[in-house]
Chains A and B, each alone.
Chain A
Amino acid sequence: MPKKYETPLLDELEKGPFPSFVTEIKKAAARSDMAADELGQLEKSYRDKRGYWKHGGIVGVRGYGSGIIGRYSSLREQFPNVANFHTVRINSTSAFFYTSQFLKEMCDIWDQYGSGLTNLHGSTGDLVLLGTNTENLEPIFAEFSSRGWDLGGSGSAMRTLSCCVGPARCEWSNINTLDINYNLTQEFQDEMHRPAFPYKFKIKTAGCAVDCIASIARADLSIIGTWKGKIAVDQSEVANYAKKGMNITEEIVNMCPTKCMSYDGSKLTINDADCNRCMHCIAKMTKALKPTGEKGATILMGSKAPFVIGATLSWVIVPFMKLEEPYDELKDLIRKMWEFWDEHGKNRERIGELVIRKGMREFLEFIGVEPVPQQVKEPRRDPFFFWTEADLQK
Chain B
Amino acid sequence: MEKAEVAQKIYELVEKSIGKKKLKSSDIQKQISADCGISRDEVKEALKDLVDEGKLIYTYFGGSFVEIPPKE
Q: A: which residues have CB within 8 A of B?
A: 55-58, 60, 62-66, 69-70, 154-157, 190, 194-199, 342, 347-348
Contacts and interface: CB of A to CB of B under 8 A. Distances in A.
Contacts of B64: 65-66, 155-157, 195-196
A56 B60 contact: yes
A57 to B, nearest CB: 7
Main secondary structure of the interface of B (DSSP, over half): mixed
Contacts of B58: 58, 60, 64-66, 155, 194-195
B33 to A, nearest CB: 12
A197 B51 contact: no
B60 A63 contact: no
Contacts of A156: 24, 60, 63-64
Contacts of A58: 57-60, 67, 69-70
A154 B24 contact: no
Main secondary structure of the interface of A (DSSP, over half): loop
Given A58-B59, A194-B58, A347-B24, 17 more contacts: A56-B61, A56-B62, A57-B59, A57-B60, A58-B58, A60-B58, A63-B52, A64-B58, A65-B51, A66-B64, A156-B63, A156-B64, A195-B58, A196-B29, A198-B63, A347-B62, A348-B63
Interface size, B (range)? 20 to 34
B26 A197 contact: yes
Contacts, number: 72
Contact of A196 (B25, B62, B67, B69): B25
Closest 7 CB pairs of A and B: A65-B58, A195-B64, A155-B64, A56-B61, A196-B25, A156-B64, A155-B60
A166 to B, nearest CB: 31
26 contacts: A56-B60, A58-B58, A58-B60, A58-B67, A58-B70, A62-B51, A62-B52, A63-B52, A65-B59, A65-B60, A66-B58, A69-B60, A154-B60, A156-B24, A157-B64, A194-B48, A194-B51, A195-B24, A195-B25, A195-B64, A196-B25, A196-B26, A198-B24, A198-B26, A347-B24, A347-B63
A194 B25 contact: yes
A63 B57 CA distance: 8
A62 B55 CA distance: 10
A155 B26 contact: no
Interface string B23-57: 01110010000000000000010001001101001
Nearest to B58: A65
Nearest to A157: B64
Contacts of B69: 58
B29 A348 contact: no
Contacts of A195: 24-25, 58, 60, 64
Nearest to A199: B63
Contact of A57 (B25, B48, B54, B61): B61
B46 to A, nearest CB: 13
Contacts of B59: 57-58, 65
Nearest to A154: B60
B5 to A, nearest CB: 21
Contacts of B66: 65
Contacts of A63: 48, 51-52
A342 B52 contact: no
B68 to A, nearest CB: 10
A196 B27 CA distance: 9
Contacts of A69: 60
Contacts of A55: 61
A156 B61 CA distance: 10
Contacts of B52: 62-63
A62 B60 contact: no
